[in-house]
Amino acid sequence: MTTVLGIEGTAWNLSAAIVDEDDVIAEVTETYRPKTGGIHPREAAQHHALHASNVIERLLKEYRDKGHSPENIDAIAFSQGPGLGACLRTVATSARALALSLDVPLVGVNHCIGHVEIGRWKTPAVDPVVLYVSGGNSQVLAHRAGKYRIFGETLDIGIGNALDKFARGAGLTHPGGPKVEEYARKATNYVKMPYVVKGMDFSFSGLSTAATDSLKDNSLEDVCYSFQENAFAMLVEVTERALAHTGKSEVLLAGGVGANMRLREMLNVMCEDRGASFYVPEKRFMGDNGAMIAYTGLLMFNSGTTLPIESSHVDPSFRPDTVDVTWIIDEKEVL
C-alpha cells in the first residue's frame, strides 16, 4: 500500500489530504474569502502562507488520531500549476519543506489532471471524455497515446469567470455562479444571445458582455437563464464533438462549475441520446481539493514519476497535455 500527502493551493482553496489506494484518510481545507469582489492573487497567496503550517499540522494530527504514523507517508505531492503564481509558490515551498523533513520524494501534479484522476477514482468512469469547468479553466480532455489531450478549450476566459463577470455587472454578490443558476430557474423567456463555437474551441467573453447589455431590456431572470442556456450548450456541444471524434463512450464532469444542475441535466440528456454514460463525482471532489492532488501524486509515484527538489519550480500555465501519463497503459495504439 502506498500513502501520499498532497497539497492543493492554485486559487481559492488551500487543501491538504493524505490518501492511499483505497480511500482518503485525512483532509483539511482552508478557503480564502475576499472581503469584496473576486480573487486578489496577492491576498490569496498571503492567506495560503498564513494557514499552510496549521493545515499540515491538523492534517497530520487527524492522520495520527486515526491510528497511522507519518512514517507511512511515501511521497509529498503538490499542485505545480496551472494557477496563480504567488499561490503556487507558497504551496510549493511548504511541500518542499515537508518532503525534506519526512525525507521522502516530491511529486509535481498538474492541477487539471488532478481533477480528472479523482473523478476516475471516485466514479465508475474508466476512459472518459472529461469536461473540466472552473473559474479560470474550461477544457475538454481525453486520454490518448500516453497524454491527456485537450480536445477543446476556451479561447478567452473560463466559464466560471464569465459567470462571475456577468454577475458583478448585474449587481449580484460574489460568487455569482450559484446566484445566476437560482435566477435562471425563475425565467419565463429565452433571450437571443451570442453562441460562439470555433471547431472544438469556444469563447465566453462576448456572451458575458452581451448578457450584461441585454439587462437593459429584459428581466434578470430571463438574462440569467439565456446566458446559462447558451454557455452550457456550447460546452455540451464541444463535449459531444469530442465523444464523436474519439469514439469514447463515457463523460466525466469535473471542476467547481460542475455543481450547476442545469449543466448536469444538459450533459445527461446529450449522453442519453448518444448512448454514453455520464459521471459526476460527489461534491467534495468536484471543486479544488487536496485529495485529488494526493491521489494523482500516488498514481505518479507508483509509476516511477518523482520530482527532484532543484527542478520543482511551479508553472502558472502548466498544460495538462505536456504530462506523460505513466500510470495508464494504452491498450489500443492510435493512428
Partner 1 sequence: MYLQSGAEAVVSLKDGYVIKDRIPKRYRVAELDERIRKERTRAEARLMSDARRCGVATPIIHDIYDFTIEMEYIDGKPVKYVIDETMCKLMGKLIGRLHSGGIIHGDLTTSNMIYSDDRIYLIDFGLAYVDGSVESRGVDIHVLFQTLESTHKDHEELIKAFSRGYRITLDMADEVLDRVKEIEKRGRYA
Binding region for partner 1 (CB under 8 A): 82-84, 136-137, 142, 144-145, 149-158, 161, 190, 192, 195, 197-201, 229-230, 233, 236-237, 240-241, 243-245, 265-267, 269-270, 273, 316-317, 319, 321, 334-335
* Closest to 13 in 3D by CA, of 282, 325, 255, 279: 255
Sign of CA dihedral 170, 176, 179, 180: positive
> Measured between alpha carbons, how far is 195 from 236 in angstroms, rounded to an integer?
12
Which residue lies nearer to partner 1 by CB, 97 or 233? 233
* Closest to 24 in 3D by CA, of 252, 288, 292: 292
Min dist. Cβ of residue 304 to partner 1 (A) = 22
Q: Is the peptide bond before 70 cis (omega within 30 degrees of 0)?
A: no
Which residue lies nearer to partner 1 by CB, 3 or 239? 239
Residue with cell 449522453: 271
Min dist. Cβ of residue 13 to partner 1 (A) = 15
For residues 7 and 78, the answer to whether their CB atoms sit within 8 Å is yes
Q: Is the peptide bond before 128 cis (omega within 30 degrees of 0)?
A: no
Which residue lies nearer to partner 1 by CB, 8 or 240? 240
Which residue lies nearer to partner 1 by CB, 171 or 199? 199
Which residue lies nearer to partner 1 by CB, 117 or 201? 201
Which residue lies nearer to partner 1 by CB, 5 or 142? 142
Look up residue 303 and give its three cell numbers.
509509476
Min dist. Cβ of residue 145 to partner 1 (A) = 6
Which residue lies nearer to partner 1 by CB, 217 or 273? 273
Which residue lies nearer to partner 1 by CB, 71 or 265? 265
Taking residue 245's Cβ as centre, other Cβ atoms within 10 Å add up to 14
Min dist. Cβ of residue 76 to partner 1 (A) = 23
Min dist. Cβ of residue 160 to partner 1 (A) = 10
Min dist. Cβ of residue 194 to partner 1 (A) = 11
> Measured between alpha carbons, how far is 138 from 255 in angstroms, rounded to an integer?
9
For residues 111 and 81, the answer to whether their CB atoms sit within 8 Å is yes
Min dist. Cβ of residue 195 to partner 1 (A) = 6
Look up residue 270 and give its three cell numbers.
446529450
Strand partners of residue 27: 17
Min dist. Cβ of residue 257 to partner 1 (A) = 14
> Measured between alpha carbons, how far is 325 from 116 in angstroms, rounded to an integer?
12
* Closest to 220 in 3D by CA, of 252, 248, 182, 192: 182
Strand partners of residue 107: 77
Helix axis angle, 220-246 to 261-274, nearest 10°: 40
